[in-house]
Amino acid sequence: MDPRQLQLDDEGRLKHFLTTDGLDRALLTEILDRAEGFLGVARQAVKKVPLCRGKIIANVFFENSTRTRTTFELAAKRLSADVLNLNISTSATAKGETLLDTLRNLEAMNVDMFVVRHADSGAAQFIAEHAAPFVSVINAGDGSYAHPTQGMLDMFTIRRHKGAFEPLIAVIVGDVLHSRVARSQIGALRTLGAAEVRVVAPRTLIPALAEEALGVRVCANLDEGIRDADVIIMLRLQRERMNGAFLPTEHEYFQLFGLTEQRIDKAKPDAIVMHPGPINRGVEIDSAIADGPRSVILEQVSNGLAIRMAVMSMCIGTQNLALANANRPAETVEAGVGAATEIGAKTEAEVEVEVALHG
Q: Dump pLDDT digits (tens) for 78-98.
A: 999 999 998 776 555 555 568
pTM, two decimals, is: 0.88
Least confident stretch, 90-99, 109-118, 167-176, 299-308: 90-99
Under DSSP, is residue 231 helix (H, G, I), strand (E, B) or coil?
A: strand
Buried b (16+ CB within 10 A) or exposed e, 198-222: bbbbbeebbbeebeeebebbbbeeb
The tens digit of pLDDT for each residue in 232-279 reads: 999 988 765 444 556 768 888 899 999 999 999 999 999 999 999 889
Examine the domain organization and report whether 79 and 209 are in the same domain: no
Examine the domain organization and report whether 247 and 175 are in the same domain: yes
Examine the domain organization and report whether 237 and 129 are in the same domain: no
Among 282, 297, 312, which residue terminates a domain? 297
Q: How far apart are CA 146 and CA 148, in angstroms?
A: 6
Q: In residues, how long is the chain?
A: 359
pLDDT tier, 338 (very low <50, low <70, confident <90, very high otherwise): very low
Examine the domain organization and report whether 10 and 136 are in the same domain: yes
Average pLDDT over residues 47-62: 95
Q: How far apart are CA 163 and CA 160, in angstroms?
A: 6
Q: How far apart are CA 74 and CA 22, in angstroms?
A: 28
Examine the domain organization and report whether 288 and 307 are in the same domain: no
Examine the domain organization and report whether 152 and 274 are in the same domain: yes
Average pLDDT over residues 157-164: 98
| Beta pairing class for 56-61 and 82-87 | parallel
Domain that holds residue 272: 148-297
Examine the domain organization and report whether 284 and 316 are in the same domain: no
Among 270, 297, 324, which residue terminates a domain? 297
User: What is the H or E stretch that residue 317 is in?
Assistant: helix 297-327
Question: Is the bond preceding residue 278 a cis peptide, omega within 30 degrees?
Answer: yes
Examine the domain organization and report whether 211 and 94 are in the same domain: no
Among 269, 297, 325, which residue terminates a domain? 297
Across the chain, what does the average pLDDT equal? 88
What angle (nearest 5°) sits at the alpha carbon of residue 253, between those of residues 247 and 258?
150
Under DSSP, is residue 319 helix (H, G, I), strand (E, B) or coil?
A: helix
Identify residue 288 by its one-letter amino acid code.
A
Least Cα distance to 155 among 175, 173, 172 occurs for: 172
Examine the domain organization and report whether 119 and 162 are in the same domain: no
CATH code at position 160: 3.40.50.1370
Examine the domain organization and report whether 185 and 269 are in the same domain: yes
C-beta separation of 146 from 184 below 8 A: yes
Q: What is the pLDDT, as a whole number, of residue 101?
A: 85
Rounded to 5 degrees, φ, ψ at 87 are: -90, 95
Percent of residues, the chain, with pLDDT higher than 90: 70
Examine the domain organization and report whether 153 and 293 are in the same domain: yes
Q: What is the pLDDT, as a whole number, of residue 209?
A: 87
Q: What is the pLDDT, as a whole number, of residue 297?
A: 97
Average pLDDT over residues 219-226: 95
What angle (nearest 5°) sits at the alpha carbon of residue 286, between those of residues 280 and 288?
125
Q: What is the pLDDT, as a whole number, of residue 11?
A: 93
Q: How far apart are CA 275 and CA 278, in angstroms?
A: 8
Average pLDDT over residues 37-61: 93
Examine the domain organization and report whether 284 and 163 are in the same domain: yes
**How many domains, the chain?**
2
Q: What is the pLDDT, as a whole number, of residue 228?
A: 98
